[in-house]
Amino acid sequence: GAGVSQSPRYKVAKRGQDVALRCDPISGHVSLFWYQQALGQGPEFLTYFQNEAQLDKSGLPSDRFFAERPEGSVSTLKIQRTQQEDSAVYLCASSPRQGPEKLFFGSGTQLSVL
């Protein structure tokens, strides 16, 4: 398909476990964003990549959260020592332009921390 692909679709983790969430953006898209969406709320910005450069990580809630995009395409969001408050849907979005215009979102990874 031509859309943004995220895996896994669902992830259940025990508190304290490390998790890795994958995003395959639309081919050729320059910009990649990660957002966190709690139940019943709008998405909240986590971090932004332009190609392989992480230009903004101001939204990452703690140093347990880490994101990378080493070759400027696929990105991974890693959460270490997961806590219950990390339970949310993690959305990835990409754009063919620099910046946040016309973001195309994936379906997200629903993370549940028990």
Partner 1 sequence: GESVGLHLPTLSVQEGDNSIINCAYSNSASDYFIWYKQESGKGPQFIIDIRSNMDKRQGQRVTVLLNKTVKHLSLQIAATQPGDSAVYFCAEGMEYGNKLVFGAGTILRVKS
Q: What is the DSSP string of 40-84?
A: TS--EEEEEEETTEEEE-TT--STTEEEE-TTSS-EEEEESS--G
Nearest Cα residue to 57 out of 73, 68, 43, 70: 68
Does 19 bind partner 1 (CB under 8 A)? Our answer is no
Does 39 bind partner 1 (CB under 8 A)? Our answer is yes
Does 42 bind partner 1 (CB under 8 A)? Our answer is yes
Task: Say if strands 10-13 and 75-79 run parallel, antiparallel, or are unpaired.
Answer: unpaired
Shortest distance, CB of residue 43 to partner 1, whole angstroms?
Answer: 5
Choices 16-24, 40-48, 68-76, 80-88 (CB under 8 A): range interacting with partner 1: 40-48
Query: DSSP secondary-structure letter at 26?
Result: P
Residue 78 and residue 108: Cα distance in Å, rounded? 14
Pick one of 48, 67, 75, 86: the residue that binds partner 1 (CB under 8 A). Answer: 48
Shortest distance, CB of residue 94 to partner 1, whole angstroms?
Answer: 11
Residues that bind partner 1 (CB under 8 A): 4, 33, 35, 39-45, 48, 55-56, 59, 91, 93, 98-108
